[in-house]
Every structure is written in structure tokens, then in C-alpha cells.
């Protein structure tokens, strides 16, 4: 008589499978609870740090008059065509925000340090293929009007993201002193020239200070010619915004 040899199937029972699924689910829950929020906090911190860097570039440039820096054709100028003060520069830069094509752009580029400085103290851009960091090029960040003839090629050679800035004055209104946005970007409601604004210092509790809201838009591609007929409505929603000011 042949003996029947009992065999056992190589596999898992239903109970073992359910226990394994439950264990994996518990581990995934622990991972999501611990690591995902931490990752989100890191991303949020990096985003905040980048926003502070960009606003810092704008604030520093608006508070500085570069050597031989020229004002625009419609700006109030001294006899040799330069800005009178840093306040004047900020005053007219805000007014350039009426259209994206004349607004302020913030970007970084490889400055060709092997060549002489330009009239405003900056260096021309060097193409990436010819750049040798530390030898003939240096990465610099700057802000300038979109329609700047001196820096239009620098904008085209931007390294990393470039940003267009829409500036709208914040007006102090009401008994509570609340700040509200002016009707249109690029408009300083109190006056049309810096000296007119100065004359109203006694009525202005903040003195020679202009508060404004800066909306930052991603510029893609970094080519000023592509924004010639663009409107703010066509720019969509800004990446981020910040309340800022400049002083006399």
C-alpha cells in the first residue's frame, strides 16, 4: 500500500496577510505623521528665506544711487540727468509699475569682471559657456527697470528665476489709521513729484515716507521684449507679496 505524503502549501494564511497589511499601514502612518510635516516646514522656511532675499535686493537698490545713474525721460531730474536723492529714485521707480514693460525686474547674472565697470558701477554679463567663476565672472543680483537700455542684455542672461515687481502705494486712511491700496499701481496719490510730497510732511504723520505693496511675478522667459504689450491682468496671480516702504 502506498503511503500518502501530506504536503503543505508554501504561502501565507489570510490572518498572516491581514496582520502584515496592518503593520505596514501603521508604519506608513508614523512616517506621514513625523516626516511629511517636517518636510513641509523645511520647504516653508526655504520659501520665506528666498522671499526675504528678493525683497532685500529691491529694498537695497531703491535706497542706493549708483554712480552716474540716470533717471528716466519723464522723471524729475537734476541738470545732468541724475536722481537727486534715493527718495527720488524710489518715488519714480514706484511710478514705473503702471505697466509690466516699464516696471522693476529682479534677477541674478554672471558679471564679467575681466572687463571694466560701466558708468553705473556694474559689470556687463558674460555668457555661461565663457564664464569661469572666480576668474572672469561673479554672480551678482540686482534690480533695475525692465526698459533699462544698459541692463537689457543682463536680464536676458539671467541665472535662475527673475521677478517682475508691481508696486502699489498704501494709503493711510480713516480714524483708525488703516492702510489701503491706491486705486492703481504706480500711483502716488499725495503728489506727482518728490518735492510736492515733502511740502506735505506736516500733514503726513509718517513724514517723508511712502508705503507700498510689492507684488512679485515670475518672469518667464527673462526677455523684456516679450512683455512690451503685457498688462498686469495678463500676468495672473503674483508668487508672493510684501508690504514695504522707502524714506526721505
Residue-wise pLDDT for 96-119, tens only, equals 999 999 999 999 998 888 888 888
pLDDT at 9: 52
User: Within a domain: residue 119?
Assistant: no
Extract the C-alpha cell encoding 119: 558708468
User: Within a domain: residue 184?
Assistant: yes
Measured between alpha carbons, how far is 75 from 90 in angstroms, rounded to an integer?
11
User: Within a domain: residue 189?
Assistant: yes
Where the chain has pLDDT below 70, the residues are 1-12, 14-16, 18, 20, 22, 25-46, 72-80, 128-136, 174-177, 200-207
User: Within a domain: residue 193?
Assistant: yes
Contacts by 88-91, CB closer than 8 A, 24 or more apart: 88/194, 89/62, 89/65, 90/62, 90/63, 90/210, 90/246, 91/188, 91/193, 91/194, 91/197, 91/210, 91/246
pLDDT at 59: 94
pLDDT at 247: 84
User: Within a domain: residue 199?
Assistant: yes
User: Within a domain: residue 111?
Assistant: no
How many domains, the chain?
Answer: 1
User: Within a domain: residue 109?
Assistant: no
- 82 Cβ partners below 8 Å, 6+ apart? 65, 68, 69, 70, 71
pLDDT at 37: 53
Share of the chain above pLDDT 70, in %: 71
User: Within a domain: residue 29?
Assistant: yes
Measured between alpha carbons, how far is 68 from 126 in angstroms, rounded to an integer?
22
* Domain enclosing residue 63, as ranges: 15-104+161-248
pLDDT at 45: 45
pLDDT at 174: 64
Residues 130, 135, 141, 142, Cα dihedral to 10°: -80
Amino acid at each position: 500500500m502506498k503511503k500518502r505524503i501530506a504536503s503543505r502549501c508554501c504561502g501565507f494564511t489570510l490572518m498572516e496577510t491581514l496582520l502584515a497589511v496592518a503593520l505596514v499601514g501603521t508604519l506608513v502612518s508614523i512616517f506621514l505623521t513625523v516626516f511629511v510635516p517636517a518636510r513641509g516646514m523645511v520647504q516653508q522656511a526655504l520659501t520665506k528665506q528666498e522671499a526675504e532675499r528678493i525683497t532685500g535686493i529691491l529694498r537695497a537698490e531703491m535706497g542706493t544711487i549708483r554712480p552716474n545713474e540716470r533717471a528716466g525721460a519723464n522723471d524729475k531730474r537734476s541738470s545732468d540727468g541724475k536722481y537727486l536723492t534715493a527718495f527720488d529714485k524710489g518715488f519714480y521707480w514706484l511710478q514705473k509699475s503702471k505697466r509690466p514693460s516699464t516696471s522693476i525686474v529682479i534677477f541674478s547674472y554672471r558679471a564679467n569682471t575681466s572687463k571694466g565697470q560701466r558708468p553705473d558701477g556694474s559689470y556687463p554679463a558674460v555668457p555661461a559657456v565663457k564664464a569661469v567663476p572666480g576668474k572672469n565672472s561673479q554672480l551678482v543680483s540686482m534690480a533695475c527697470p525692465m526698459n533699462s537700455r544698459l541692463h537689457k542684455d543682463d536680464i536676458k542672461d539671467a541665472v535662475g528665476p527673475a521677478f517682475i515687481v508691481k508696486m502699489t502705494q498704501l494709503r493711510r486712511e480713516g480714524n483708525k489709521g488703516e492702510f489701503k491700496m491706491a486705486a492703481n499701481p504706480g500711483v502716488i496719490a499725495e503728489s506727482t513729484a518728490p518735492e510736492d510730497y515733502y511740502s506735505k510732511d506736516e500733514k503726513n504723520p509718517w513724514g517723508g515716507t511712502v508705503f507700498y505693496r510689492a507684488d512679485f511675478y515670475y518672469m518667464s522667459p527673462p526677455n523684456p521684449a516679450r512683455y512690451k504689450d503685457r498688462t498686469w491682468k495678463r500676468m495672473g496671480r503674483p508668487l508672493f507679496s510684501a508690504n514695504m516702504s522707502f524714506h526721505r
